[in-house]
Amino acid sequence: MENAGSKTPGIICFLIIRFLVAGFCFCLKSCKFVDKFIFVKVSVIIPCYNEELYISACLESLLKGSFPTEQLEILVVDGGSTDKTREFVFQLQKKHPQQLHWIENPRKKTPFALNLGIQKALHPFILIAGAHAVYPADYLIRLTELIQGPEIDVVGGAIETRVKNITPKTRAIQFVLSHRFGVGNSLFRIGADRLIDVDTVPFGLYKKEVFEIAGHYNEKLIRNHDMELSKRIKAAGFHIWMEPKLKVAYFARETFSGIARNNFGNGFWNIRTLFITRKFSSLGIRHYIPLVFLLSLIIPLVFSLVFDGRFMFISLASFVLYLFFSIGIGIKNLKSINLYYLLQAFFVLHFSYGWGSLMGFFPEFGDKRKPENSKL
């Protein structure tokens, strides 16, 4: 009896421990938070070049967000910055040596940076980020939850276009880059009312297997490599989703010359993408509309000089129709947007994009600017 009694406390302890272990295991299996989040690790890839004005805010938004930093690595892939980008990144790296890594991109251009980052990434989920952007605190947490849902292989948020210096001109630029007449049916710019399957998404979180099956970025494409990859991802049977409630603050260029240079490059690489991929479907219809608009001005004008002066009325009608829509949008927003700057912003955006597309047929006049890491 004495011997049996001495064993009772041990048996009770054993049963308590077993009960606690069983309960813990049950929680691991049933708890949504643990199952879908706690073991997820993410590699963030940020291509950059001369981003001293933006890189610190970008990195801090990711490092100070709700996502645990011990489950995060950030790869800054630099194309040879000559400003203080390196200095600012290294200052942050001292505080986050395990999370923040600097990688040199000797080939300068963005698609090389992205592919280099993908090769170096250690984790099963990869976020393709941009240095011009600031991310909401719950961005990574929300994306890692969503990407583990059914038929979600890539997921990102929408863009909230911002400017650092608020003036009548920059407000007009900001408005144009967020309006359907300015950027077409680009849902990540104009927004949506629900989680939606899309053709492409900015700053998306990818399952690593997507790159293994659909391939990496086409290194022949200095621009449009993201859209072209998205087309291949969709063709491979994967699904790309956008959560419009997640707003990424993207800082636009604030001068008309900056808008013109950027969109000339976008238009130029639209056409070069056609020649390189030999697939009209590698881009969406909206990418060719500025070229059609420009040709509606140029071709009738040339015909009027060569054949019959009445062809000029076609060019005039096209331009008047364009002004009609632009002015109509301006009048509806007169309280917040300067009409003079709005008309300039629309025209600079569309004309430079269309002119770049036209020059894409003549690559000797191509995009010869220094490397940039965003075409948004």
Predicted confidence band at 89 (pLDDT cuts at 50, 70, 90)?
very high
DSSP string over 74-102: EEEEES---SSHHHHHHHHHHH-TTTEEE
| Nearest residue to 348 via CA among 164, 176, 155, 135 | 176
pLDDT score recorded for residue 142: 96
Please state which of the ranges 55-64, 153-162, 347-356, 367-376 shows the lowest mean pLDDT.
367-376
Does CATH place domain 33-254 in 3.30.200.20?
A: no
Does the pLDDT of residue 100 top 80, yes or no?
A: yes
**Rounded Cα distance, 157 and 204, in Å:** 7
Contacts of 87 (CB under 8 A, 6+ apart): none
Q: What is the mean pLDDT of residues 187-210?
A: 90
Which token pair is 221?
Answer: 């494409």
Beta bridge partners of 157: 243
Give percent above pLDDT 90 in the chain.
73
**Rounded Cα distance, 326 and 320, in Å:** 10
| Nearest residue to 336 via CA among 161, 171, 163 | 171
What type of residue is 81?
A: S
Which token pair is 316?
Answer: 């005039």
Runs of H (alpha helix) within the chain: 2-30, 32-33, 55-63, 85-95, 110-120, 139-146, 168-176, 180-183, 187-190, 208-214, 225-235, 256-277, 289-306, 312-332, 339-359
Does the pLDDT of residue 19 top 70, yes or no?
A: no
**pLDDT tens by residue, 111-134:** 999 999 999 999 999 999 999 999
Please state which of the ranges 13-27, 70-84, 127-141, 186-200 shows the lowest mean pLDDT.
13-27
pLDDT score recorded for residue 63: 96
Backbone angles phi, psi at 154, to 5 degrees: -140, 135
Predicted confidence band at 237 (pLDDT cuts at 50, 70, 90)?
very high
Contacts of 245 (CB under 8 A, 6+ apart): 157
pLDDT score recorded for residue 14: 53
Strand bridging mode 205-207 / 154-162? antiparallel
**Rounded Cα distance, 150 and 153, in Å:** 9
Q: What is the mean pLDDT of the chain?
A: 88
pLDDT score recorded for residue 282: 67
Does the pLDDT of residue 370 top 80, yes or no?
A: no
pLDDT score recorded for residue 13: 56
Predicted confidence band at 188 (pLDDT cuts at 50, 70, 90)?
confident
| Contact predicate 108/79, CB 8 Å | yes
pLDDT score recorded for residue 364: 72
Please state which of the ranges 21-35, 59-73, 96-110, 118-132 shows the lowest mean pLDDT.
21-35
Count of residues making up the chain:
376
What type of residue is 13?
A: C
pLDDT score recorded for residue 286: 83
Predicted confidence band at 367 (pLDDT cuts at 50, 70, 90)?
low
pLDDT score recorded for residue 325: 95
Interior/surface letters 88-126, b for 16+ CB within 10 angstroms, e for the rest: bbeebbeebeebbbebebeeebbbbbbbbbbeebeeebb
Please give the biggest Cα pair distance in the chain: 120
The whole-angstrom distance between residue 200's C-alpha and the CA centroid of its chain comes to 9
Label residue 331 exposed, middle or buried (CB < 10 Å: 0-12, 13-18, 19+): exposed
**pLDDT tens by residue, 259-277:** 999 999 999 998 998 888 8
**Rounded Cα distance, 113 and 103, in Å:** 9
Give percent above pLDDT 70 in the chain.
86
Q: Token match 């892939």: residue?
A: 77
Please state which of the ranges 29-33, 253-257, 283-287, 289-293 shows the lowest mean pLDDT.
29-33
Residue 314 vs residue 35, higher pLDDT = 314
Does the pLDDT of residue 29 top 50, yes or no?
A: no
pLDDT score recorded for residue 280: 76
Domain boundaries, the chain: 33-254, 271-365
pLDDT score recorded for residue 189: 82
DSSP string over 104-142: E-TT-SHHHHHHHHHHH--SSEEEE--TTEE--TTHHHH
pLDDT score recorded for residue 283: 74
